[in-house]
């Protein structure tokens, strides 16, 4: 379902904006290629990717430098943290000065259980 998330002027070029909408953690990133939207949970420790280094079509986690392709969510540099799943990517568009993101209906799925649960 398409939701208006924020105004276009709240997201500068090569900038990030981490926010929550209907229970989803959403990371918006603007590059010269356009605006991208991902579920804002680094695949390493589920920290925010907000404030990460944006280069071309990639973002690097500000915590441990895991690098992700903004277009696909695929991990490009895992920093030795093997077995991380790709980040979830959402469709995004800009209309009339607003950024809209296509989020699934309902709340996000619960986190997976810890290994010792």
**Residue 82, domain member (yes or no):** yes
d(CA 71, CA 38): 9
Burial of 109 (0-12, 13-18, 19+ CB in 10 A): exposed
Quote the number of domains for the chain: 1
**Residue 115, domain member (yes or no):** no
Q: What is the pLDDT of residues 32-78, one digit of tens each?
A: 999 999 999 988 888 899 999 999 999 999 998 999 999 999 999 98
Sign of the C-alpha dihedral computed for residues 93, 98, 33 and 105 taken in this order: negative
Q: Which DSSP category does 66 fall into?
A: -
pTM: 0.89
**Residue 11, domain member (yes or no):** yes
Q: What is the pLDDT of residues 66-114, one digit of tens each?
A: 999 999 999 999 888 788 899 999 999 999 999 999 999 887 877 655 5
Question: Would you call 21 helix, strand, or coil by DSSP?
Answer: strand
Question: Which residues form the domain of 34?
Answer: 2-102
**Residue 107, domain member (yes or no):** no
**Residue 110, domain member (yes or no):** no
The answer to whether 28 and 34 are in contact (CB under 8 A) is no
CATH of the domain at 77: 2.102.10.10
**Residue 59, domain member (yes or no):** yes
Residue 116 pLDDT greater than 60, yes or no:
no
Structure confidence at residue 112 (pLDDT): 59
């Amino acid at each position: 379902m398409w939701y208006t998330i924020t105004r276009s002027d709240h997201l500068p070029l090569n900038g990030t904006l981490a926010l929550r909408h209907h229970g989803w953690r959403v990371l918006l990133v603007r590059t010269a290629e356009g605006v991208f939207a991902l579920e804002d949970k680094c695949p390493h420790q589920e920290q925010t990717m907000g404030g990460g280094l944006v280069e071309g079509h990639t973002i690097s986690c500000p915590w441990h430098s895991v690098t992700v392709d903004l277009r696909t969510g695929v991990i490009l540099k895992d920093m030795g943290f093997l077995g991380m799943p790709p980040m979830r990517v959402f469709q995004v568009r800009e209309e009339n000065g607003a950024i809209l993101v296509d989020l699934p209906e309902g709340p996000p799925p619960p986190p997976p259980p810890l290994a010792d649960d």
